A and B are shown apart, each in its own frame.
Chain A
Amino acid sequence: MTDAALAFVGGLAGSAHCAGMCGAFVLAVGAGAPSWRANVARQTVYALGRIFTYAAAGGLAGYFGLSIERSMPAAARVQAWLAVMAGALLVVQGLRAAGILPSGWKGNAAGPCLTAAAMRAFLGQRSMGGLFLAGVFNGFVPCGLVYAYLALAMTTQDLGGGLALMAAFGLGTAPAMVAIGATGALLGLAARRRLTAFAAWCVILTGAIAIGRGLAYMRGPVEGQPVCPGCEAAASLS
């Protein structure tokens, strides 16, 4: 499986988790839409904005991974370490979402947030351009899952690769978000919890695969194309 496809599935599965936090935003985007079609159009534009931000961040991460590799000696096996780190981050995120690890966020009362007014202003926009920008801003809202996938994008060590990975992730989250926003319905809490648990295990699996790949790189030769163990096995069979 290529990285991008894995990220798409991860986004799809993780939608249930996203619904909790970002669901409120898409509901706001859809509020007041004159018809169902117009609502879907809005949601699509909004989602495109979000995907744009993710893709840009993914590209940046990919380039960052590349430049780290270039600036460190080859023996440091940067790629391997990046993969292990990204995998670990993903596993931790997944475990937290599954409720196995404590969340660790000492939430206190929502303090003064200076960008809150900005977000609110954008969410209330009626023009498509404004909605797109709202999506762009939404992409910057702190999300552990996004950061974990960004770490994975870093391991691609390629501008285009990182971009593609994060774009795939964003596309994976899009159907659920558009659906929620268009129908104005949020799943019941019990269903959401179950889906979140399922999504959490998907994320843990992705993380485990990344760790495995990283460990394989560490043991492998310095030069040469590193391959996914699965593909290597398939190639050796044929």
Chain B
Amino acid sequence: MIGPLAFATPADTLPAAPSVANRCAFCGLPAGRRSKQAPAIAAPVYCCLGCRVAATFCSAGDVPGEARRLLTRLGLAIFCTMNVTMLTMALWTNDIYADPFAASPSDFERLLGELTRYACLVLSLPVVMLLAPPMGQQAWSALRQGRLTADLLLLAGVAAACAYSVASVVRGSGHVYFEVACVVLVAVTLGRWLTAVARQRTAQALEALERLLPEMARVVRQGCEAVLPARELAPGDIVRIVAGERIAADGRILTGSAAVDEHALTGESVPTVKQPGDLVFGGALNVDGLLCVSVLSPPQGGALARLVEAVREARLVKGGSQRLADRAAAWLLPLVAALAMGALAWHVPRSGWEEGLLAALAVVLIACPCALGLATPLALWSAMNLAARRGIVFSNAEALERLAKVRVAAFDKTGTLTTGQPRVADWAAAGSPAEIVLARAAGLATRSNHVFSAALSSFARDLYARVAEPQGVRTWPGLGVSGVFTDDGDQPFAETFLGSPRLMHQRRLARSTVSNDEVERLLASPAPVTCIGWDGAVRGAFEFSEELRPYADRTLRQCRELGLRPCVLTGDREAHARRLASQLGVDVEAELLPDEKVAAIARLQRDHGPTLMVGDGINDAPALAAADVGMALGCGADVSRESADICLLGNDLAAVPWTVALARKTVRTVRFNLFWAFAYNLAGMGLAITGKLNPVWAALAMVASSAFVVGNSLRAEAETQLENLGPWPEVNGATPP
């Protein structure tokens, strides 16, 4: 029954015991009764707060040497402070127990008292020597720049308390306030340390993304395979990736196909199967195949690196509430100094130097704007990190704040709500042999950049159709292309047009003369249709179908649940748009040219409020820029588009409501933190000025407030550990602020 165990959570090594109660994930003892239903996500359960804290301790990373020295200082200072506090309380106890009827304290008691006082002095020395110099350096360097800092005020107060206490000890009478000085120093250092650690954590969370890139890569050069550092990869290198490895750099697959997990980059929880010719990101995981990839960009310049860089840069730009906090902090300190002086001037004549000093020190401590400076940036950065882990990049924190206020979500159609890759659904020919119609259509399609043309070409390719070669190709913007075909027998010199029905009408290619039922049916359908015609007649029609992106309807429903009004803006035909409207249940505005889209956005802003526009950032850049917040999908390796405030690496529409919910939750946290920081400051200030607040309590309250704000801001991070287990979580209806 007794056996050696390694240093690990002891519960790990024990077999699962068949019992009714839950087990503490750390110590293995029962952790309360099992809940009625099994939890959806298997989160570890702890029997007490201590076990939970201990579990975090054991899984924490190592601390670099520099921080360790600081911690040792802090630990020693805490030890001495505890002793000083105990001795001081012993002194107070003596005061309390002092017999009111005795003429004077006995010699022994007096000696004991003096001894205790000297002990306090001696034990306070290490605390002051360890903790005061760093604060002093900060205060001095700020003073040289002409800035007044809280450090300076606090040090002045601590110095005054110490000086007075030393004088008391030397004189042999009077109170000593060493414990005030010690606790203040310890509390302030602790508060600063918490802040520093919290900032470091948000920075580190981002670097965890960078660590996804493997260090080494298998490079194939001239037929020989060598393992090289990934840093040395250059565009054009061929890299082999075995199943289970991460891809070292952005590239295009040459051979092999595999399921690739891009969860870390795009948040898509289901691995997608990639084929030769597909693009892959560096940092993605090759799940189950063997891939040969041609490198497109070195790891340092790939999508992942650029994503991290973009988030880092985004942090530098201050959002609205950050600017507010900065402005508040700027005039707060002089105000605090004035109030402290005022308290001093008020209390000293009335109650003596002691009361005055204590009151002034308490004022400075309680008014210390530490929480104020923390409240905003930490929560914003934490949220931006969280979003970055799902492949969502904010260009700056202000975009996050604006997103929380939006009331309307406008979507572009082609490429945003739909996959943007139409297929030929049906086609018909009339008046000429089908083979010639298809050949000419394919021939003209290869000369056009339109998405429909690409679909036509691949359709023809799939059918192994002959592709005719056009001469004298001309492009008609917004309408189609035309060319002359000389190599088949059908009207060799008549110009052939491929394009929208409007082009047919313009070119006076009539439908009535030769078209048949099939062509008529296609032309009447609400789906997009491209026609081909020559010599005065429409000879064929191709109908395209567009796939809606997966979860498009769910996304729109979630937007509605969030209180957003969804709306679709498209340049497509009215009939098709109306069909989409009824299918998805949203408002649609159709046949909009690019500047009409901008006008539509302005109308939405006027009628309903701040507007979010979701598009691809290229074709609807003006609309994205005109909206209050522009979100671009499918940025891929581009990472950032100029016109968009928020860029999504992937194509998952579910990101839209999730990001809005995140923004709202973050803004609420920021507001709550700011409110708390101000409220407790004001309340404490009243007590401190009237001299009712002991500086020790003020210092402890300050640390508690900082810890609370930090904990609140970082809480979002803790919740992601549960979210990572599933696909995009269902957003709960967070009300708009």
A-side residues, CB < 8 A to B, are 17, 19-25, 27-28, 31, 52-53, 56, 59-60, 63, 66-67, 70, 99, 102-105, 107-124, 129-130, 132-133, 136-137, 141-144, 159, 163, 184-193, 196
Interface bracket on B: 35 or more
Question: Does B134 sit at the interface, judged by CB under 8 A?
Answer: no
Besides A114-B201, A142-B50, 15 more A-B contacts (Cβ < 8 Å) are: A20-B10, A21-B27, A25-B54, A60-B86, A60-B89, A103-B33, A109-B44, A114-B710, A129-B72, A141-B50, A144-B48, A159-B90, A159-B93, A192-B28, A193-B29
Closest 6 CB pairs of A and B: A20-B27, A103-B32, A111-B718, A107-B46, A116-B60, A133-B75
Query: Which of A113, A120, A185 has a CB less than 8 Å from the CB of B5?
Result: A185
A24–B1 touching, CB < 8 Å: no
Question: Does B31 sit at the interface, judged by CB under 8 A?
Answer: yes
B1–A190 touching, CB < 8 Å: yes
Bound CA–CA A121/B75 (angstroms): 11
Return chain B residues, CB-CB under 8 Å to A28: 7, 58
A113–B51 touching, CB < 8 Å: no
Return chain B residues, CB-CB under 8 Å to A136: 75, 78-79, 82
Question: Does B513 sit at the interface, judged by CB under 8 A?
Answer: no
B49–A21 touching, CB < 8 Å: no
Residue in A56, A113, A122, A144 with the greatest tally of chain B CB atoms within 10 Å: A113
Query: Which of A67, A99, A114 has a CB less than 8 Å from the CB of B21?
Result: A99
Return chain B residues, CB-CB under 8 Å to A187: 1-2
Known: A66-B93, A105-B48, A107-B43. A186 touches B5 (CB 8 A): yes
Q: How far, in Å, is A141 (CB) from chain B's closest CB?
A: 5
Residues 23-63 of B, flagged 1 when their CB comes within 8 A of A and 0 if not, give 01111111111000000000111111111111111111111
Bound CA–CA A117/B714 (angstroms): 16
B54–A21 touching, CB < 8 Å: yes
Question: Does B14 sit at the interface, judged by CB under 8 A?
Answer: yes
B21–A107 touching, CB < 8 Å: no
Return chain A residues, CB-CB under 8 Å to B53: 113, 116, 141-142
Query: Which of A24, A105, A111 has a CB less than 8 Å from the CB of B7?
Result: A24
Query: Which of A25, A102, A107 has a CB less than 8 Å from the CB of B44?
Result: A107
Pairs A–B under 8 Å by Cβ, sample size 29 = A20-B27, A20-B28, A22-B54, A23-B27, A24-B10, A28-B58, A56-B85, A60-B86, A67-B96, A102-B32, A103-B30, A103-B47, A107-B31, A109-B44, A109-B722, A110-B56, A110-B59, A111-B717, A113-B56, A117-B67, A120-B60, A133-B72, A142-B53, A143-B48, A188-B2, A188-B3, A189-B14, A191-B2, A192-B29
B10–A130 touching, CB < 8 Å: no
Question: Does B476 sit at the interface, judged by CB under 8 A?
Answer: no
Question: Does B100 sit at the interface, judged by CB under 8 A?
Answer: no
B43–A108 touching, CB < 8 Å: yes
B63–A121 touching, CB < 8 Å: yes
Residues 8-22 of B, flagged 1 when their CB comes within 8 A of A and 0 if not, give 111000100100010
B7–A27 touching, CB < 8 Å: yes
Bound CA–CA A163/B89 (angstroms): 12
Question: Does B680 sit at the interface, judged by CB under 8 A?
Answer: no
Return chain A residues, CB-CB under 8 Å to B49: 105, 142
Return chain B residues, CB-CB under 8 Å to A192: 28-29
Q: How far, in Å, is A94 (CB) from chain B's closest CB?
A: 14
B201–A112 touching, CB < 8 Å: yes
Question: Does B71 sit at the interface, judged by CB under 8 A?
Answer: yes
B-side residues, CB < 8 A to A, are 1-5, 7-10, 14, 17, 21, 24-33, 43-63, 67-68, 71-72, 74-76, 78-79, 82-83, 85-86, 89-90, 92-93, 96, 194, 197-198, 201, 710, 714-715, 717-718, 721-722
B61–A109 touching, CB < 8 Å: no
B68–A105 touching, CB < 8 Å: no
Bound CA–CA A104/B44 (angstroms): 14
| Residue ID in chain A nearest B61 by CB atoms | A117
Bound CA–CA A116/B61 (angstroms): 9
Return chain B residues, CB-CB under 8 Å to A142: 48-50, 53
Bound CA–CA A104/B5 (angstroms): 29
Known: A70-B96, A105-B46, A130-B72. A20 touches B86 (CB 8 A): no
B10–A111 touching, CB < 8 Å: no
Bound CA–CA A142/B51 (angstroms): 8
Return chain A residues, CB-CB under 8 Å to B58: 24, 28, 120
Return chain A residues, CB-CB under 8 Å to B75: 122, 130, 133, 136-137
Return chain B residues, CB-CB under 8 Å to A130: 72, 75
A99–B30 touching, CB < 8 Å: yes
Bound CA–CA A102/B10 (angstroms): 22
Return chain A residues, CB-CB under 8 Å to B82: 52-53, 56, 136
Query: Which of A20, A117, A123 has a CB less than 8 Å from the CB of B29?
Result: A20
B71–A121 touching, CB < 8 Å: yes
A114–B1 touching, CB < 8 Å: no
Residue in A25, A119, A132 with the greatest tally of chain B CB atoms within 10 Å: A119
Return chain A residues, CB-CB under 8 Å to B68: 121
Return chain B residues, CB-CB under 8 Å to A124: 62
| Residue ID in chain B nearest A134 by CB atoms | B75
Known: A116-B57, A121-B67, A133-B76. A111 touches B715 (CB 8 A): yes
B67–A109 touching, CB < 8 Å: no
Q: How far, in Å, is B80 (CB) from chain A's closest CB?
A: 11
Bound CA–CA A28/B58 (angstroms): 9
A133–B79 touching, CB < 8 Å: yes
Return chain B residues, CB-CB under 8 Å to A141: 50, 53-54
B718–A108 touching, CB < 8 Å: yes
Q: How far, in Å, is A96 (CB) from chain B's closest CB?
A: 8
| Residue ID in chain B nearest A193 by CB atoms | B29
Q: How far, in Å, is B669 (CB) from chain A's closest CB?
A: 14
Known: A59-B89, A142-B48. A122 touches B54 (CB 8 A): no
| Residue ID in chain B nearest A20 by CB atoms | B27
Q: How far, in Å, is B539 (CB) from chain A's closest CB?
A: 65
B76–A114 touching, CB < 8 Å: no
| Residue ID in chain B nearest A127 by CB atoms | B72
Return chain A residues, CB-CB under 8 Å to B715: 111
Return chain B residues, CB-CB under 8 Å to A59: 86, 89
Return chain B residues, CB-CB under 8 Å to A53: 82
| Residue ID in chain A nearest B194 by CB atoms | A114
Bound CA–CA A144/B49 (angstroms): 9
Q: How far, in Å, is B76 (CB) from chain A's closest CB?
A: 7
Q: How far, in Å, is A137 (CB) from chain B's closest CB?
A: 7
B63–A118 touching, CB < 8 Å: yes
Known: A28-B7, A107-B31. A144 touches B50 (CB 8 A): yes
| Residue ID in chain A nearest B27 by CB atoms | A20
Q: How far, in Å, is A160 (CB) from chain B's closest CB?
A: 8
Query: Which of B17, B46, B71, B76 has a CB less than 8 Å from the CB of A189?
Result: B17
Return chain A residues, CB-CB under 8 Å to B46: 105, 107
Return chain A residues, CB-CB under 8 Å to B93: 63, 66, 159
Bound CA–CA A138/B125 (angstroms): 25
Q: How far, in Å, is A52 (CB) from chain B's closest CB?
A: 7
| Residue ID in chain B nearest A19 by CB atoms | B27
Q: How far, in Å, is B616 (CB) from chain A's closest CB?
A: 36
A31–B7 touching, CB < 8 Å: yes
Q: How far, in Å, is A68 (CB) from chain B's closest CB?
A: 12
Bound CA–CA A141/B53 (angstroms): 7
| Residue ID in chain B nearest A143 by CB atoms | B50
| Residue ID in chain B nearest A141 by CB atoms | B50
Q: How far, in Å, is B3 (CB) from chain A's closest CB?
A: 7
Return chain B residues, CB-CB under 8 Å to A110: 44, 52, 55-56, 59
B29–A196 touching, CB < 8 Å: yes
Return chain B residues, CB-CB under 8 Å to A103: 30-33, 47-48
Return chain B residues, CB-CB under 8 Å to A112: 201, 714, 717-718
Q: How far, in Å, is A125 (CB) from chain B's closest CB?
A: 8
Q: How far, in Å, is A45 (CB) from chain B's closest CB?
A: 13
Q: How far, in Å, is B72 (CB) from chain A's closest CB?
A: 7
Bound CA–CA A17/B7 (angstroms): 18
B67–A56 touching, CB < 8 Å: no
Bound CA–CA A155/B23 (angstroms): 34
Known: A31-B7, A103-B47, A120-B60. A109 touches B29 (CB 8 A): no
